[in-house]
Amino acid sequence: MQALQNKICSEGKVLSAEVLKVDSFLNHQMDPALMQDIGREFAKRFVDEGITKIVTIESSGIAPAIMTGLELGVSVVFARKRKSLTLQNNLYISQVHSFTKQETNDISISKEYLQATDRVLIIDDFLANGQAALGLLDVVKQSGATAVGIGILIEKSFQSGRTLLEQTGVRIESLARVASLEDGTVTFLETVTAGGAQS
């Protein structure tokens, strides 16, 4: 998606060969018009999948997810993140390890808001090691609902997440695929033509 790639190029900060910081438009300050464009793009890509619900994770997934939900006309549920949850009967719970923060969190969704008949689109901001998306897939699976797609804003294609997710067979759409952050420069996987035909 051209607009997102442009924003990453103009405002993203490459902190290391593995860390891209996009606090100015996604992870702390948010650009509402860009989030609306992203919602429209996800809706366009997934419109034929019969989606009935969007699932994301707090906090940075919420803005793109709510815009996608608005376009598709479906509700959005955000999974809560907690250090650890005592077993609760009314929650679907999965564990998510963050390699960046070196900590494991429980993520949870109330059983009230996922039904076995739901066709779910998962939205998340980053795909790196894939742990958050796999946790969300696990939660959806526990409910008996069908995960029909995963929509990612920024994929770090040089990390293992994409491959891990592909093994689940669920369709993945990443709006910006970062091939490398070497030498302080963001290189995208697909070369975008002037007309924006690709990616």
**Binding-site residues:** 20, 27, 128-132, 156
Q: Which helix (H) or strand (E) holds 180?
A: strand 172-180
* Non-local CB neighbours of 194 within 8 Å, separated by 6+ positions: none
Nearest distance, CB of residue 63 and a copy of itself, angstroms: 5
> Which of residues 26 and 165 has its CB atom nearest to a copy of itself in the complex?
26
Q: How many CA atoms lie within 13 A of 192 on its CB side?
A: 17
Strands 53-57 and 119-127: parallel
Total number of residues shown for the chain: 199
Secondary structure of residue 190 in the 3-state scheme: coil
Exposure of 198 in the CB half-sphere (CA atoms within 13 A) = 8
- Residue 141: which region, alpha, beta or left (left: phi > 0; alpha: psi -120 to 50)? alpha
Using the rule CB under 8 A, is 145 a contact of a copy of itself? no
Please select the residue that binds a copy of itself; options are 24, 146, 187, 199, rule is CB under 8 A.
Answer: 24
Check residue 80 for interaction with a copy of itself (CB under 8 A).
Answer: yes
Q: Nearest approach, Cβ of 55 to a copy of itself (angstroms)?
A: 10
- C-beta of 102: minimal distance to a copy of itself in Å? 16
51 touches a copy of itself by CB under 8 A: no
Task: Kindly tell me which of 24 and 199 has the beta carbon lying closer to a copy of itself.
Answer: 24
Q: Which is nearer to a copy of itself, 112 or 183 (CB)?
A: 112
Residue located via tokens 């509402």: 32
Pick from 10, 86, 101, 112: which binds a copy of itself (CB under 8 A)? 112
153 binds a copy of itself, rule: CB under 8 A: no
Using CB atoms within 10 A of its CB, is residue 167 exposed (0-12), middle (13-18) or buried (19+)? exposed
**Which residue ranges make up the site for a copy of itself (CB under 8 A)?**
23-25, 28-33, 35-36, 58-59, 62-63, 66-67, 69-70, 73-78, 80, 109-110, 112-113
